[in-house]
Structure 1
Amino acid sequence: MRKVIYNRFGDESVLELTEQAVPGIQKDQLLIRVKAVSINPLDWKVYGGEMKLMSGSAFPKSVGIDFSGIVDQTGSEVARFKAGDAVIGLLDVFKGGALADYVVVKETDLAPKPANISFEKAAALPVTGLSALQIIDQLAAVGANQEVLINGATGGIGLFAVQIAKKRGARVTAVVSANGVADAKKWGADTVVDYTKQDIRHLNQPFDAVIDLSTRFSFKDARRLMKPKAVFVSTLPSPLTLLSSFVNNLFSGKKRKILILKPTVEGFNTLTKLAENDLQIVLDKTYSMTNVREAYQEARRKKIIGKSVIVLD
């Protein structure tokens, strides 16, 4: 089978398309034939060596976190799925391995694929959809009539965070680039700010939650926009940010929280129900597996609207 690996940290040039043996499974595992794999910013942060403390430095390493596919084989202890089932799945975010023709997982890594969406769109759901759910429902605990600022609202997480926050009854201010204004409005944002025309640090409005998905808006700047008991959420965990958040939250009413994705069966179920109804899933571009380097180069450098996906054929 084909599998993308890398043997050193670096840019997209380290990614290699190799031939590997199809892995075997244990009695509590499933073998999935992968149909599509989502591209996530965490991918290039890991293969770029920015997350060594979490990923480790042993090689070879694999890339690709979330995927859609079809169950090929099941172990004797597997009860929820059978061969032929269409599924979506999620691997360890710091180890990856989804960018392969076959992947081995446990039942808790999977959910049924919503029947009304393609494999390509389904692959875009797990990482960013579950991240958005965790941010909106747990970290920020967004509720009715709250004012929520989402910075970087047209990326993979932002796409879902805007929609889910609206479903929770919040009033959403989305911060986007010029080419994302129409999309943010379509997803339900009440107010859309084009950051190329307006500095959000000077917004004259307090928020119950400030969610930074751009990784460029600091907690120091966000504090000026936060109500006394507001929450700031960011998406890049590091030992330093985790420590500073812990210290801040001991003494300040304005809380700082960091997303560390913790997938659950309940979260998967909530996400698939949303997808079966009216959750919009936007694909910026799809790529073939042979163009993996180009795919990651473009995803890292472009202003992506929604998600990019690699399709295995």
Structure 2
Amino acid sequence: MKAIVYQEFGTADVLQTVEQPKPTIKEDQVLVKVKAFSINPMDWKIRKGEMTLMSGSKFPKYTGADFAGIVEDIGYSVSGIVVGDEVFGVVKNMMKEGVSAEYVAVTSSLIWKKPADISFAQAASIPVVGTAAVTALEKMGNINAQTNILVNGATGGFGMFLLQLLKQKGANITAVTSSKGTEFAKKWGASSVIDYAKEDVLSRKAAYDIVIDLSGKMGYDNAKQIMKSKALFLNPTPKPIEIPLSFIKNLFTSQKHIIVLASPSDKYTDVLLDAVRNGVDIEVNKIFPFADYTEAYQYAEQGGYIGKVVVEVN
């Protein structure tokens, strides 16, 4: 089979295609013929060597964490899934595994049946950012129409799910996005939209109960300027040092810095599948063929697009 790997840390140019045998599966695994995999910021953070404490420095490394495809074989202890099922899923260890290949072997607990009314590209877009959105929602606690929430960087894959889930809760959402993301933010549930090219949200006099920074560009110290005295700042893209520091700082302030670390599971995927059944919009901005994977990653790393970027394998 063809697989995308890299032998050193660096830009998308270090990615290369190699020929490898199909994976062999363990008793609790499923072999999937990959039809599509999505691109997430974690992919290039690992590839650039920014996460070596967790990813290690052993090569070759693969890329991609979530995927969709067709079941080709199952381990003898697997139940509820049969050969030929259309599924989507995610690798167990995003730091050290990848799905950028024609076939992938994955633990059956991280595979779910694909809804018939969405494409493989849409299904591959769900696990990582969808789980992060549900986890963020959980961290927010009890929210309602009186809860003022600012979502910074609101129309990427994470924001796409988060805005729609927040809308279901009736929250009062302010979305910060680009001019081309304005209509999507409104469609997905934002009560008001700020075009970051025209207005600096930090200059506003408004105060929010919750600020979540999906862009990773605002930061807790800046966000405090527009947070209420007992507000939450949610950080889904923490630097490694911020994880322990946030716990210490939170002991001495009422403006809490909350780290959002997500791990896909049935619990979160059930919420996402229910949202899909109820018509949640999954916007795939661009689909690249497998042969153009370098261009796909270069495009994704530039940012500024709406929804998700996906690579189709077959």
Shared fold (TM-score, shorter chain, > 0.5): yes
Q: Which residue does 1:62 correspond to in 2?
A: 62
Identity %: 41
Q: Which residue does 1:307 correspond to in 2?
A: 308
Alpha-carbon deviation of 1:271?
Answer: 0.6
Alpha-carbon deviation of 1:182?
Answer: 1.4
Structure 1 residues 2 and 113 mapped into 2: Cα distance closer, same or farther (>3 Å)?
same
Alpha-carbon deviation of 1:96?
Answer: 3.4
For the residue of structure 1 that corresponds to 2:186, the secondary structure is helix
The answer to whether the Cα contact below 8 Å between 2:88 and 2:111 also exists between their aligned partners in 1 is: yes
1:100 aligns with 2:94: no
Q: Which amino acid aligns with 2:69?
A: G
Q: Which residue does 1:32 correspond to in 2?
A: 32
The answer to whether the Cα contact below 8 Å between 2:166 and 2:189 also exists between their aligned partners in 1 is: no
Q: Which amino acid aligns with 1:255?
A: K
Alpha-carbon deviation of 1:70?
Answer: 1.2
Q: Which residue does 2:74 correspond to in 1?
A: 74
For the residue of structure 2 that corresponds to 1:223, the secondary structure is helix
Structure 1 residues 288 and 31 mapped into 2: Cα distance closer, same or farther (>3 Å)?
same
Q: Which amino acid aligns with 1:180?
A: G
Alpha-carbon deviation of 1:142?
Answer: 5.1
CA RMSD, aligned part only?
1.1
Task: Answer with 223-232 or 288-297: which moved more.
Answer: 223-232
Alpha-carbon deviation of 1:239?
Answer: 2.8
Q: Provide the rounded CA distance (Å) in 2 between the counterparts of 1:179 and 1:105.
A: 37
Q: Provide the rounded CA distance (Å) in 2 between the counterparts of 1:65 and 1:96.
A: 7
Alpha-carbon deviation of 1:225?
Answer: 1.4
Q: Provide the rounded CA distance (Å) in 2 between the counterparts of 1:150 and 1:302.
A: 17
Q: Which residue does 1:247 correspond to in 2?
A: 248
Q: Provide the rounded CA distance (Å) in 1 between the counterparts of 2:188 and 2:266.
A: 26
Question: Which residues of structure 2 form unaligned runs of 5+?
Answer: none
Q: Which amino acid aligns with 1:14?
A: V
Task: Answer with 79-88 or 4-13: which moved more.
Answer: 79-88
TM-score, normalised to structure 1, is 0.97
TM-score, normalised to structure 2, is 0.97
Q: Which residue does 1:2 correspond to in 2?
A: 2
Q: Which residue does 2:229 correspond to in 1?
A: 228
Alpha-carbon deviation of 1:236?
Answer: 1.9
Q: Provide the rounded CA distance (Å) in 2 between the counterparts of 1:121 and 1:98.
A: 16
Q: Provide the rounded CA distance (Å) in 1 between the counterparts of 2:2 and 2:221.
A: 46
The answer to whether the Cα contact below 8 Å between 2:36 and 2:121 also exists between their aligned partners in 1 is: yes
The answer to whether the Cα contact below 8 Å between 1:80 and 1:107 also exists between their aligned partners in 2 is: no
The one-character-per-residue Cα deviations of 1:191-224 (angstroms, maximum 9, x if unpaired) are: 0000111111012221111000001001011112
Question: Which residues of structure 1 form unaligned runs of 5+?
Answer: none
The answer to whether the Cα contact below 8 Å between 1:233 and 1:258 also exists between their aligned partners in 2 is: yes
Q: Which residue does 1:21 correspond to in 2?
A: 21
